[in-house]
Structure 1
Amino acid sequence: MAENKTKVALVTGAAQGIGRGIALKLAEDGFDLAIADLEPQQEKGQDVVQEVEALGRKAVFVPIDVSGKDSFDQAVDTAAEQLGGLDVLVNNAGIAQVQPILEVTQEELEKIFAINVHSIFFGIQAAVRKFDELGVKGKIINAASIAAVKGFPILSAYSASKFAVRGITQTAAQELAPKGHTVNAYGPGIVGTGMWELIDRELHKINGKPIGQNLQENVETIALGRIETPEDVAGVVSFFASNRADYVTGQTLLVDGGMLYN
């Protein structure tokens, strides 16, 4: 049966952080992996490839600039060719910007929307083209955020981009349901990765609090009492990528330890 065939997932931004955690979890679930990231991240990406292979799965590093449609199309084609198919796309790559709303520039808006929003469109388009070509019912899983359901001060551009991801997820789910494809999103809270280190540093410049204090104060608002790990996020992605989520589409599931209640 086709269900016995090894499934393939492509994860963007997979050379480090949350993307790496997602890739390793999907490998544990039995997926072969395309580790997709920027060309300068290839060395880190190859490390993740080796970690996936140590789990007994196949993996390849695929260079990608998620803000470019042609780059996304090429990455999907390369992944499917080298790994023998494509069943899941995780649109994980993204950036944060910390800036008072009155100081956000046109260049900053264009950059964050190119990476956080345009990539979702290009990823969906590329993945569905490949799903249909291969005759599979695919799963698309997008990176949202707690900032997709509540706007946060000093994170206006980031919040706007993540609200957009949530909206795209809902509309794509409706349009692609007749094909049998599902589209969902995960909404992390405060994850102990480089992104939150950046946010903490930038908040320090704005409010003068010592490095680490802004992060700690935010962590103290988490009901479960600890900072989030990439593995926490990966568990939700694992569910969306599995057949247990075959009847779930158009949803943004918060995985934040109890910060927001949606």
Structure 2
Amino acid sequence: MIREVVAQLWNRRAGYREGCRGLQLLSDFPELQHGATLPHCGRRHIQITHRFTTDWFTAYEEICMSITGKVVLVTGAGQGIGRGIALRLAHDGADIALVDLDQTKLDAVADEIRQIGRRATTFIADVSDRAQVHAAVEHAHSELSGFDVIVNNAGIALVGPISDATPEEVSKIWSVNVDGVLWGIQAAAAKFQALGQRGKIINASSIAGHDGFAMLGVYSATKFAVRALTQAAAKEYASDGITVNAYCPGVVGTDMWVTIDKRFAELTGAPEGATYEKFVGGIALGRAETPDDVAGFVSYLAGPDSDYMTGQAGLIDGGLVYR
């Protein structure tokens, strides 16, 4: 049986006051039972899924210095980096709203998340459509009884010389890579404001958002634009307690990079795989990136350790672009 609260965290660990707003400590940790409910920790009630030690600070760290119990929406979650992010956040204790265009892929990722022991819900949406993105946020909140973080991950690539870019190609990539992020920022911020709570917005930029690459000029422009939106939104929403940051992957071994490599081969006559190997050869750490490499940084951005960080675009590329 849980005996109710005896001490305020503020007076015992001043350095962590803002990380765990309103946490009230239970008086006798050995009496905490599996499945009990812990009073609020700056978000909703959190269910205890394991027995704590008698150390109150250990209990605090296990609950409040994590993303346990948070609800996170991830776009482009059916494969690649998006799938990696969704699974990592689920492993770290979050419940995930998965958004993409392919229901079969979404269902597969949702099953993986449920096997981890977290909740998952799916929603089909084209991120270039503002109404669909807003509907996805509402769905996440309704189905998972909360909304704490959005990861605007969905994106597409365009390979080719600037001289050959068509209005249709530019419109398509811009609508997904930039408009999709813009609508996600709008929808998430509006929901956080309506709920009267803080929140985190995390956007997908790229190394191409720090360094314009030849044959990837239009794609690079979209990723520079994401950085600009991230900085502007960080300034606009700071007073609401909403942080806005971006992650900038490099050469990740996903289907997108397979497509990029094949397109380079078509345009330059290089053998398939040569462009990929050339980029990987320039990485200081000597290997290609994995979705897990990206997901670890996104988990940091989603959690309380990044609470004092906003408007930033972090490079996770193994040492390829230096800024």
Q: Tell me which residue corresponds to 1:63.
A: 124
Within 5 Å, give how 1:149-160 maps onto structure 2.
149-160=210-221
Whole-Å Cα distance in 2 between the matches of residues 229 and 147 of structure 1? 17
Given candidates 242, 250, 263, the residue that maps to 1:181 is 242
Residues 1:246 and 2:246 are matched in the alignment: no
TM superposition score normalised by structure 2: 0.80
Whole-Å Cα distance in 1 between the matches of residues 205 and 197 of structure 2? 25
Amino acid at match of 1:176: Y
Whole-Å Cα distance in 1 between the matches of residues 196 and 254 of structure 2? 37
Residues 1:89 and 2:157 are matched in the alignment: no
Most deviating of 56-65 and 126-135: 126-135
Q: Render the CA deviation track for 1:60-113: whole Å, top value 9, x for unaligned.
A: 111111000000011110111000011000000000000111000000110010
State whether residues 85 and 134 of structure 1, in contact with CA within 8 Å, keep that contact through their aligned partners in structure 2: no
Whole-Å Cα distance in 1 between the matches of residues 216 and 234 of structure 2? 27
Within 5 Å, give how 1:75-224 maps onto structure 2.
75-224=136-285
Give the % identical residues: 53
State the structure with bigger RCO (CA 8 A, min sep 6), 1 or 2: 1
Amino acid at match of 1:22: I
Residues 1:13 and 2:76 are matched in the alignment: yes
Aligned-pair distance for 1:29?
1.2
State whether residues 101 and 156 of structure 1, in contact with CA within 8 Å, keep that contact through their aligned partners in structure 2: yes
Q: Tell me which residue corresponds to 2:92.
A: 29
Whole-Å Cα distance in 2 between the matches of residues 35 and 136 of structure 1? 22
Amino acid at match of 1:175: E
Amino acid at match of 1:135: G
TM superposition score normalised by structure 1: 0.98
Whole-Å Cα distance in 2 between the matches of residues 83 and 251 of structure 1? 29
1:26 partner SS: helix
Superposition RMSD in Å = 0.8
Amino acid at match of 1:99: G
Structure 1 or 2: more helix by fraction: 1
Aligned-pair distance for 1:2?
3.5
Whole-Å Cα distance in 1 between the matches of residues 209 and 165 of structure 2? 19
Q: Tell me which residue corresponds to 2:294.
A: 233
Aligned length: 260
Aligned structure 1 segments of 4 or more residues deviating by more than 3 angstroms: 2-5
Residues 1:47 and 2:86 are matched in the alignment: no
1:93 partner SS: coil
Structure 1: any 5+ residue segments left out of the alignment?
Answer: none
State whether residues 147 and 158 of structure 1, in contact with CA within 8 Å, keep that contact through their aligned partners in structure 2: yes
Amino acid at match of 1:37: D
Residues 1:2 and 2:34 are matched in the alignment: no
Aligned-pair distance for 1:13?
0.2
Whole-Å Cα distance in 1 between the matches of residues 197 and 174 of structure 2? 30
Most deviating of 130-139 and 10-19: 130-139
Structure 2: any 5+ residue segments left out of the alignment?
Answer: 1-39, 47-68
1:142 partner SS: strand
State whether residues 22 and 234 of structure 1, in contact with CA within 8 Å, keep that contact through their aligned partners in structure 2: yes
Q: Render the CA deviation track for 1:112-153: whole Å, top value 9, x for unaligned.
A: 100000011110111111111222200000000000010000
Q: Tell which structure's C-alpha radius of gyration is larger.
A: 2
Whole-Å Cα distance in 2 between the matches of residues 135 and 22 of structure 1? 26
Aligned-pair distance for 1:213?
0.9
2:215 partner SS: coil
